[in-house]
Amino acid sequence: MQATLEQAVKLGLREDEFEKLKEVLGRTPNFTETAMYSVMWSEHCSYKNSIKWLKTLPRDGDRLLVKAGEENAGLVDIGDGWACVFKIESHNHPSAIEPFQGAATGVGGIHRDIFTMGARPIASLNSLRFGEMDNAKTKHLLKGVVKGIGHYGNCFGVPTVAGEAYFESCYQTNPLVNAMSVGVVRVGQTASATSYGAGNPVFIVGASTGKDGIGGASFASADISENSAEKLPAVQVGDPFEEKKLLEACLEVLQTSAVIGMQDMGAAGITCSTSEMSAKGEHGMIIHLDKVPTRQANMKPWEMLLSESQERMLIVVKKGHEAEIQQIFDKWDIHCVQIGEVTTDKNLKYYMNGELVADVPAESMVLGGGAPVYEREYTTPKYLTEIAKFDINSVAIPADLRDIAYQLVQLPNIASKKWIYEQYDSMVGTGNTHTNAPSDAAVVRVHGTPKALAVTTDCNSRYVYADPYKGTMIAVSEAARNIVCSGGLPVGVTNCLNFGNPYNPEVYYQFVHAIKGMGAACEKFNTPVTGGNVSFYNQSEDGPVYPTPTIGMVGVLESLDQKMTLNFKKAGDLVYVIGTSHNDINCSEYLHHIQGVSLSPAPYFELEEEYKLQQTIQKLIGQKLVNSVHDVSEGGLFACLLESAMTNGLGFSVATDPSIRKDAWLFGEGQSRVVVSINPFIQQLFEAELKNIPHTKIGHVNATGEIHIDDVAWGYISDWKEAYDNALGNLVNS
């Protein structure tokens, strides 16, 4: 039966897309086919509104083993025959509706992207955004999301080693849940998401197919509204135990030489995996849907084709090796059922009980093939004029800065995220060195090698909102800075681009300029973008969220000896700021959440200066001239010093700079600054290395465990730590 335009529109296709679809097929598609295209041509799968700009990002580098977009995740050479696979992905809309399962399946999905390439995940990270903490809904979402991430990751057995959480009113209805996975694999042992060789059998393995998550990809491509809760079936349900077995079985299967290609089933399930693998291998497939193990009786063909049931994989196997594969999945008690075979004819033909229900060219469905590509218009957002009007002189310097600092370190954006991360297993895998020796990026050792990976996610979206170009450069720079400050060499980026509705020209302006800024910074740091995810439509009746281009970055340490930590080591050590402090409180937590000024420009930042700073830090760490290194970020210099002091309970005595407003010196978030502590005996040697870069000796580490600012006692580190550690938990429970 032919589909009608009305049906197509209801499924999420636009009128012109339905026309294009008729052209592609040379006939009017039936309902099943229309449903398949509606998902494959949704933003989530096709990147139709973003691909034009994504292609401008630097995507080449000496270390890249596959190009961005070619496989499920980026693959970067880390030397000595090892490679790292990593990717970040959003699960924003499901988490807004059902925070526990939404977040849990986000974690499950991103790990599958990693092990479908043959890599064993060794670290997870997440980047979260919620509304204000005084809102009951925020607490509900926060509790659910954190429990969901923990539930999946803890059981699956991959440590959650780092992440970020911010609280801003723009995320009230539309929280962001971005999950990143990092895995390692021997070079040459990776699997590819491809399919070829006529007659080769096609297997579905893992969980049974149910009605959950049908149309999830289309759902992710629409604004969140009151009616979204009615879309509950679009949220999938996760089973980390099944995925853990699937991981072990898939890695075992890849040790054989029986596999042609493998792809996980995420968005658009069977439709997406069959079409993407076939398009890549330039072959077709015959699929018998009646052979697919299902959770419920009488599922319709389109339901099976669109189901986003979790923990499933599609595997194309060399003919004659079926038994070998079957045996491994039997061992792990996992479904492994042949549902079709590869054909030379490049169409995908889906049958149900012998009846042909869909017949489509694989290539026509996918990104880079027949999926539509759009150029969207953009205009400069009006709010930027308001932002430019900000004048620092309109803000009075508070009389009691100690009290301001005490409030500041208890703001949920600054305070310890302990309430969150203690619910995650951060130590399984015995690779996370962060627990007992913290550094700016989490440093995770690679078992069987002397190497370690430094991993981080970063994005201060308030900066990006204030200046999409500069703000995104800052996000990339901070990620690189965190890795450099931990002793690593940044090698690659994955991005999760969370924006509002792309059909809004002001939102699209943010997107375009964010991409330009990201490109410029990634170019500078030689960190190609290996892949990622675009999440548009993050908006509600209240408007779009802050543009949030989350940067996930990976760096390499050739050995753990290169690692640098952030905590002060010894009383008497001298404390320096490397980089320049400015009379700048722009976009700071202090200005926004204490002074209540929500519109101000992005903080001071110059890419060239940042680059030079990072080169210097690398040199200082390499020459063992520094005892601790910690970058200045949210909360400014004061928060940075406090964080360095708290681990060992050592205090600090520092003097402010009289040429700068005291509030700016303490709480300003001007970029490209790093705090280091050094042994006084090597002061000369140390300073000799800093001839070409601004630096200031601001004080020393003290033994009394007290804070002294300009010789005024601000109390004991232990008391500040108590406040800092418990603030978020107190807010959750209040």
Partner 1 sequence: MKFGIIVFPGSNCDRDMMHALRDDLEQEVVMLWHKDKDLSMFTKDDCIVLPGGFSYGDYLRCGALARFSPMMEQVINFAKHGGKVLGVCNGFQILCESGLLPGVLLQNDHQKFVCKNVCIKSENNRNIIGQNVADKILKIPVAHGEGRYHADAATLEKLNKNNQVIFRYCDEHGEVHLHSNPNGAVNNIAGICNEGRNVFGMMPHPERASSSALHNIDGRLILQAFTN
245 touches partner 1 (CB under 8 A): yes
Identify residues 522-581 at the interface with partner 1 (CB under 8 A). Answer: 560
| CB closer to partner 1 out of 559 and 704 | 559
Let me know if 288 is a catalytic residue. no
Strands of 628-631's sheet, edge to edge? Answer: 628-631, 674-678, 574-578, 695-702, 651-654, 706-709, 712-716
Instruction: Pick between residue 89 and residue 311 the one whose CB is nearest to partner 1.
Output: 311
44 is catalytic: yes
Q: Which of 44, 513, 592, 695 is catalytic?
A: 44
Cβ(113)–Cβ(178) below 8 Å: no
From 168-176, 320-328, 421-429, 654-662, give the range in contact with partner 1 by CB under 8 A. Answer: 421-429
Which stretch in 66-74, 396-404, 424-432, 607-615 sits in contact with partner 1 by CB under 8 A? Answer: 424-432
- Minimum Å gap between C-beta 435 and partner 1 is 7
Is residue 239 part of the contact set for partner 1 (CB under 8 A)?
yes
User: Minimal distance in Å, beta carbon 342 to partner 1?
Assistant: 31
Strand partners, 82: 79, 186
Q: How far is the CB of 309 from partner 1 (least distance, A)?
A: 17
Read off the tokens for 287.
Answer: 């699929």
How many CB atoms within 10 Å of residue 81? 11
Task: Give the N- to C-terminal CA distance of the chain in Å, as an integer.
Answer: 57
According to the binding rule CB under 8 A, does residue 244 interact with partner 1? yes
Closest CA to 254 of 318, 208, 311: 318
Q: According to the binding rule CB under 8 A, does residue 427 interact with partner 1?
A: yes
Residue 426 contacts partner 1 per CB under 8 A: yes
Closest CA to 414 of 706, 643, 113: 643
- Smaller CB distance to partner 1: residue 376 or 445? 445
In this chain, which of 212, 264, 341, 425 binds partner 1, going by CB under 8 A? 425
Interface mask (CB under 8 A) for partner 1, residues 330-359, using x and -? -xxx--------------------------
Alpha carbons 604 and 586: distance in angstroms, whole number: 8
Task: Compute the radius of gyration of the chain from its Cα atoms.
Answer: 26
**614, 691 Cβ separation under 8 angstroms:** no
Check residue 466 and report its DSSP letter: H
Dihedral sign, Cα of residue 592, residue 505, residue 540, residue 420? negative
Q: For 502-554, what is the HEC assignment? A: CCCHHHHHHHHHHHHHHHHHHHHHCCCEEEEEEECCCEECCEECCCEEEEEEE
Region binding partner 1 by CB under 8 A among candidate stretches 35-43, 186-194, 339-347, 427-435: 427-435
Tell me: does residue 310 bind partner 1 (CB under 8 A): no
**Options 186, 389, 447, 619; binder of partner 1; rule CB under 8 A:** 447
Which residue number, 428 or 682, has a Cβ lying nearer to partner 1?
428
Closer of 155 and 237 to partner 1 (Cβ):
155
Residue 308 or 425: the one with the smaller Cβ distance to partner 1 is 425
What secondary structure does DSSP assign to 40-82, as a single string?
A: HTSHHHH-TTTHHHHTTS----TTEEE-TTTSSSEEEEEETTE
Q: Find the part of the chain contacting partner 1 (CB under 8 A) among 266-274, 394-402, 435-443, 576-584.
A: 435-443
154 part of the interface to partner 1, by CB under 8 A: yes
Give the SS3 label for residue 272.
Answer: helix
CB of 431 to partner 1, least distance (A): 8
State which of residues 150, 206, 492, 636 lies at the interface with partner 1 (CB under 8 A).
150
Q: Count residues contacting partner 1 (CB under 8 A)?
A: 33
Tell me the CA distances in angstroms from 426 to 101, 104, 112, 123, 340, one per residue in order. Answer: 20, 16, 19, 9, 41
3 state DSSP class of 647: coil
| Binding status of residue 435 toward partner 1 by CB under 8 A | yes
CA distance 156 to 150: 10
Residue type, 54: L
State yes or no: residue 237 binds partner 1 (CB under 8 A).
no
Residue 156 or residue 537: which is nearer to partner 1 going by CB?
156
Give yes or no for residue 286 binding partner 1 (CB under 8 A): no
Map tokens 């830090």 to a residue: 617
Q: How far is the CB of 415 from partner 1 (least distance, A)?
A: 17
Among 227, 353, 393, 436, binds partner 1 (CB under 8 A): 436
- Binding span for partner 1 by CB under 8 A among 17-25, 152-160, 214-222, 403-411: 152-160
CA-to-CA distance for 156 and 95, rounded, in angstroms? 19
Strand locations in 101-175, DSSP E?
Answer: 120-130, 160-167
For residues 386 and 83, give the distance between their C-alpha atoms in angstroms, rounded to a whole number. 47
Q: How far is the CB of 241 from partner 1 (least distance, A)?
A: 3
Indicate which single residue of 430, 659, 692, 734 sits in contact with partner 1 (rule: CB under 8 A): 430
Closest approach of Cβ 436 to partner 1, in Å? 4
| Region binding partner 1 by CB under 8 A among candidate stretches 172-180, 240-248, 308-316, 520-528 | 240-248
Between 355 and 561, name the residue whose CB sits nearer to partner 1. 561
Residue 303 or 425 having the CB closest to partner 1: 425
Q: How far is the CB of 625 from partner 1 (least distance, A)?
A: 22
Residue 632 C-beta: closest distance to partner 1, Å: 25
Instruction: Please report how close the Cβ of residue 124 comes to partner 1 at its closest, in angstroms.
Output: 13
| Cα(239)–Cα(149) distance, integer angstroms | 12
**Distance between CA atoms of 412 and 401, rounded to whole angstroms?**
19
What angle (nearest 5°) sits at the alpha carbon of residue 615, between those of residues 610 and 620?
120
Q: Which of 122/202 has CB closer to partner 1?
A: 122
Rank residues 280 and 563 by Cβ distance to partner 1 and give the closer one: 563
Which residue in 77, 98, 168, 242 binds partner 1 (CB under 8 A)?
A: 242
User: Using alpha carbons only, what angle is made at residue 199 by residues 318 and 271, rounded to the nearest 5 degrees?
Assistant: 90
For the bound state, the minimum distance from the C-beta of residue 556 to partner 1, rounded and expressed in Å, comes to 16
**Among 148-156, 500-508, 526-534, 713-721, the segment contacting partner 1 (CB under 8 A):** 148-156
Stretch that binds partner 1, among 263-271, 275-283, 300-308, 423-431 (CB under 8 A): 423-431
Length of the chain in terms of residues written: 734
Distance CA 525, CA 468 (A): 19
| Continuous segment of H or E residues that includes residue 89 | strand 82-90
Q: What angle do CA 598, 600, 603 make, to 5 degrees?
A: 125
d(CA 423, CA 104): 13
Question: Would the CA dihedral through 247, 251, 253, 254 be positive or negative?
Answer: positive
Residue type, 297: A
For partner 1, which is the closer residue by CB, 432 or 482?
Answer: 432
Residue numbers annotated as active site: 44, 91
* Interacting residues toward partner 1 by CB under 8 A: 147, 150-151, 154-157, 239-242, 244-245, 331-333, 422-430, 432-433, 435-437, 445, 447, 560
